[in-house]
């Protein structure tokens, strides 16, 4: 029998992070206010630190026609590609504000976003670190976003 696993780091709160990760997470937490989530009341923000030091933000954008909403992670990846071309992403901090409940534990990207993060990672040729947390509380750091999608489907599968 085979198994799949990956490692990630946990921190009790933002104060335990290095200065760069703490600043990026603070920006993501602040950016949740810019999300457009009138239906779910679940504001999500993703903030990227690029290799050149640039910071780009994306937030979820809902729509009354639910299938056409877009997650913060994919908004972010589109913005990075549109504004900075092939400049690699070093780290993405993702936070959320659940306006109907608590925002005290890390959340992970959905399946579509995991696939998009994998594709972007392969395209840029370097891992994308993830810093995951709510508005407060525990923080997860994943050193390679691609680890979130084991047994993934990629362009190589279409050869």
Q: Which residues are identified as catalytic?
A: 73
Q: Which residues contact 1 (CB under 8 A, 6 or more apart)?
A: none
In whole angstroms, give the CA distance from residue 16 to residue 4: 29
Query: What's the distance, CA 76 to chain centroid?
Result: 8
């Amino acid at each position: 029998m085979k198994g799949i696993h990956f490692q990630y780091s946990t921190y009790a709160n933002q104060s335990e992070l290095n200065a760069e990760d703490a600043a990026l997470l603070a920006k993501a937490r602040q950016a949740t206010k810019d999300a457009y989530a009138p239906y779910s009341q679940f504001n999500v923000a993703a903030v990227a630190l690029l290799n050149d030091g640039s910071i780009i933000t994306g937030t979820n954008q809902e729509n009354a026609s639910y299938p056409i909403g877009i997650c913060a992670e994919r908004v972010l990846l589109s913005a990075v590609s549109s504004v900075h071309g092939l400049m690699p992403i070093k780290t993405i901090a993702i936070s959320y504000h659940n306006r109907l409940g608590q925002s005290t534990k890390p959340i992970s990207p959905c399946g579509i976003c995991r696939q998009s993060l994998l594709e972007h990672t392969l395209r840029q040729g370097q891992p994308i670190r993830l810093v995951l947390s709510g508005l407060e509380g525990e923080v997860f750091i994943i050193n390679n976003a691609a680890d979130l999608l084991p047994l993934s489907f990629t362009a190589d599968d279409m050869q």
